[in-house]
Amino acid sequence: MSFRPGQTIDDRYELGAQLGSGGMARVYLAHDAVLDRQVAVKVLSEAYALDPTFVERFRQEASAAAGLSHPNIVAVYDRGASNGSYYIVMEYLSGPDLKQVIRRRAPLAPAEAVDYATQILAALGAAHKRDIIHRDVKPQNVLVAEDGRLKVTDFGIARAGEGTQMTEAGSVIGTAQYLSPEQARGEETTAASDCYAVGIVLYEMLTGLLPFDGGAPVAVAMKQISDPPTPPRVHKPSIPPGLERVVLKALEKRPRDRYRSAEEFSDALAALGPVLGEATGQTAVMGAAAATGVTSVMDDGPPTGPTSVAPPPARREEPARSRWPWIVAAIAALAIVGVIAALALTGGGGGSTTVPNVAGLPLADATAAIRDAGLTPAVERTEDDEVEAGTVIDTDPAAGSSVSEGDTVTLRVSAGPMAVEVPDVVGLERDDARRALVQAGFGVTVDLESSDDVREGFVISQSPAAGQEAAAESDVTIVVSSGADQVEVPSVIGRPQSEAGSLLSQAGLSAAVQEQPTTNSPAGTVIDQSPGAGTRVDAGSTVTITVAVAVQTVTVPTVTGLTNSQAFTELQSAGFNPIGASAPSDTVPEGIVISQSPGGGSEAEEGANVEIVVSTGPTSTGGSDSGGGGGGSDDGSDGGGGGGSDDGSPLP
């Protein structure tokens, strides 16, 4: 499977914005969830994941680079495979690559260019000591750290160790503009091959131009094999002659004639010392018309600076295996000569002209200006975060270059910022959605919208939609659910039931009614509500209202004079709740109801309490003259023990 922004590899690396892509892989900004740091993740392209040769080459890159530890080499942290795709985790650098620096600032000052070249050579020297040849040194593979230090990356086509070259015999891997002649011929590469590429990078930094460019990659590769480079001082006379000699030595066609190691190349640059940045006197250039076909540069005086570069040794025959490409080159050269002769006979070829400066112009205007100058425009579109889409960034050859009339000038036109695929965040919680979009390289705009179907805080929709491409750092709008519509509960206490129901309905709410008998409020009036007034609830919610109803009364039966048990039975049968109490009585016999409350014949609420007081009989007293123990008889005998009646009989 392929990976895209928003996905997570092995539950650890959360992929963000795509940083770039090459022939074999894509590179993403990612967050290492375990170590909480930003990293760059290089994922093998899906088209190659099923090719064992490419997979092996990819694994080799990780193994080779992981063993390198140097301040000028991008660190490799991890590698692995997930769901059929292979990845490498590397140090993330937020700065530009050297190609971007060259495009914006070239030509660079000699001292700065030499410093950059020296850093690149330091990285390659460390790799060469481990028998690792980079084989694709170019400005795009040199990153600028925040502190200004250069770091070499992408050992994707490196040859690690003897006998591990992964290319088939005669195949060519690399970038044509930076390809050494031996690579172009499909021959074995060495440290000198990387030095050749550094020589081209140095040439480009000093002049803003490539020594071999234009046309198809095959044509450029043929130039690498057969054409001598134009001395850099032809383009930039202020380059110190000593520095020019170092560059030209690095660009010798035969590996044995150029610097054979990064250390040797670096030492030659270091030996220039104070001459860097100095503009020297007149330089005489003996061009390709010389019988030898070798470009030589002669200074007016002795070399300035502490070093001198020995002239290249006399050319010797190449081994038999390399003769065929040279034969092809010779045939191509003869064809070119034929074209030149034909032009001379027909009067073609014209004169020379200067490439106009069209940077910053719209494409249509720039094209017209190029044609007005007698040149042929070609267009190359490239992503650019700073230049508006449709505007010319620069030209190749550069503005001010002297070219022949009718030559092709390539207009490098901005296609706008890099387009990034928008991740799918619908259904994610708001913070998770924001994190995924930021990691993918986008800004985030949040809109709130009520929803009956999507939980509060979760994404309902997004714009642009998932899967669409949008400019990096542009905003993606997410619509987040605020939950269902919320309304404020109105106050309905004290209002008639019908009015309360109408108010609740107008507020988008429904009413549930419960009744409560009461004598404190008129029947049909709302005496309570839940939720209370002022509470915010989802639209359509139910509010419970309590409505007063009239109390139903019953006539209280008269139970005075009845026995206790009779009174209880009578009251309960009438729907009341009897509550008993007792008291002594001199007039009411024991066990008989003395009084009741409410009184018999009154109206009371059904189920109400009725208190009855039951006699416990007369109050007990001791014997006394006044009859406490009862009256005595004529014969003086004691009268009974209790109070006597008129006839002397005891109370029932």
Give Cβ neighbours of residue 220 (< 8 Å, ≥ 6 apart). 176, 177, 179, 212, 213, 214
The pair of structure tokens assigned to 580 is 């008993």
User: What's the rounded Cα separation, in Å, for the pair 612 and 86?
Assistant: 95
- Catalytic-role residue among 136, 194, 394, 396: 136
Query: Which residue type is seen at 615?
Result: S
CB 308 within 8 A of CB 272: no
Interior/surface letters 502-511, b for 16+ CB within 10 angstroms, e for the rest:
ebbeebebeb
User: What's the rounded Cα separation, in Å, for the pair 384 and 360?
Assistant: 13
The structure tokens 């002594």 sit at 584
Q: Is 352 exposed, middle or buried (0-12, 13-18, 19+ CB in 10 A)?
A: exposed
Distance of CA 355 to the CA centre of its chain: 42
User: What's the rounded Cα separation, in Å, for the pair 442 and 420?
Assistant: 9
CB 577 within 8 A of CB 543: no
Q: Which of 212, 219, 209 shows the shortest CA–CA distance to 196?
A: 212
**H or E segment and range at residue 28:** strand 25-32
Give Cβ neighbours of residue 431 (< 8 Å, ≥ 6 apart). none
Distance of CA 38 to the CA centre of its chain: 11
Known active-site residue 10: no
SS3 120: helix
Sign (positive/negative) of CA torsion 242, 243, 248, 251?
A: positive
The pair of structure tokens assigned to 214 is 């234009």
Query: Which residue type is seen at 104?
Result: R
Indicate left, alpha or beta for 116 from its phi (over 0: left) and psi (-120 to 50: alpha): alpha
User: What's the rounded Cα separation, in Å, for the pair 557 and 134?
Assistant: 114
Q: Which of 417, 484, 488 shows the shortest CA–CA distance to 456?
A: 484
The pair of structure tokens assigned to 71 is 């301040």
Q: Which of 147, 197, 145, 151 shows the shortest CA–CA distance to 176?
A: 197
CB 375 within 8 A of CB 355: yes
Q: Is 639 exposed, middle or buried (0-12, 13-18, 19+ CB in 10 A)?
A: middle
Q: Is 605 exposed, middle or buried (0-12, 13-18, 19+ CB in 10 A)?
A: middle
The pair of structure tokens assigned to 177 is 């503009």
Cβ count near 465 (within 10 Å)? 12
The pair of structure tokens assigned to 5 is 């922004």
User: What's the rounded Cα separation, in Å, for the pair 383 and 128?
Assistant: 34
Give Cβ neighbours of residue 633 (< 8 Å, ≥ 6 apart). 639
Q: Which residues are catalytic?
A: 136
